[in-house]
A and B are shown apart, each in its own frame.
Chain A
Amino acid sequence: MHSSVREANLRALLSDDSEVRSHVSELVEVYESILAEDVRGTRLAHMIDVVRPTQQTTDIAYDGKRLRESSLPDAILPVFTHFLSCKYQAFGAMDATEVSLRTQFLDKFSLQGVQYSTATCRARDSHIFFRPSQMSKLQACPEPGQITHIFVHSHAPDHCSPLASRGQIHHPSVYLCVRPYATLRPNIELNKIDQMYRQFGFAGGFLCRKEFASLVIIEPSSIISHIAVTPLHIYGHDLLHILPMDRVSSSLDRQNKRAHGEKFSTTSSCRHPSCTPKMLK
């Protein structure tokens, strides 16, 4: 109670007294950033500040001692090269030879205090709901998938890196290799059951095939949440029920409805012809 009263008094003093404010301008800047800090919604400022409703920076942590150096598998390299090309589009197309094969692999990392793992390390934490990276956040339809690899890569060659072009050091970034769950094939009976789930939006979830679509690469910031996965056998088909476990926002369905006219789209990422990965020889 004491700290809340002191904080309220300090806020009133800083907003009313311009002289005090001018004397402690540096302190005010830091104080406001702390006040607006959003560690998974623990600050009321997150709710009050409607102009900036989401956290802008990601909070990734991993154990650097557990990094294993290895080369990128053949299945991932073309997808990763394509991902980097899309990411650094403005700097021209990227050749596979420009991407370093050596990379460091991880089993798990935490994003804003939530742990994500690869399917081989801890399957329970490997099922995610994510936004495909190649599209803008508004356009991208969230998809379910499973993390197969987590790796740290000092990716872009100098001419492709916007930071390098500005003379800044380019730190290695974390990337995830995800295999998305395949969407349902047109089938009247199955689509009817899928629709039964989808009508309840975030509370009902949706169905997918118990198969994987082609691999995609995403950044940790594209992760929305974990998912609960339940294998179901309906009308002779092996299916998966997907229930997003998003405890931060329930606005997914509203957002998708606005962008695509449906609640949860399960179209796979980067299916636009211009974004189809090219196999390298």
Chain B
Amino acid sequence: MADAHSANGTKRIWNVFIILSLLTIVEVVLGIYKPDFLFKTKFLYMNLLNWIFIILTIWKAYYIMWAFMHLEGEKAGLRWSIVGTLIFLITYLVFILLIEGDYIHNVYRDDQLLWIF
């Protein structure tokens, strides 16, 4: 039974490696060629190409954390204490920066500045 488990473990590692490599190849090819129908179309203030990059990267992060860092074998409590904290804090930070950054961008673009802030 130990053998079956370990053979499974090795197989899983190779499978995840192949998935990660494929995701990276897709990202790199898209990054080099930047097809216009993705690069020039916008969705929620960002072009589709960037959306694809970010989604693929998060997907890679999921595989690295679950399979390589063995989070899939840990208790749910430990998983949530790490992933939940990261998602909450990073989302919060990005949310604030996007809103405030948008405000500052509009000020620089449209208004007259009385002082450089």
User: Are A and B physically bound partners?
Assistant: no
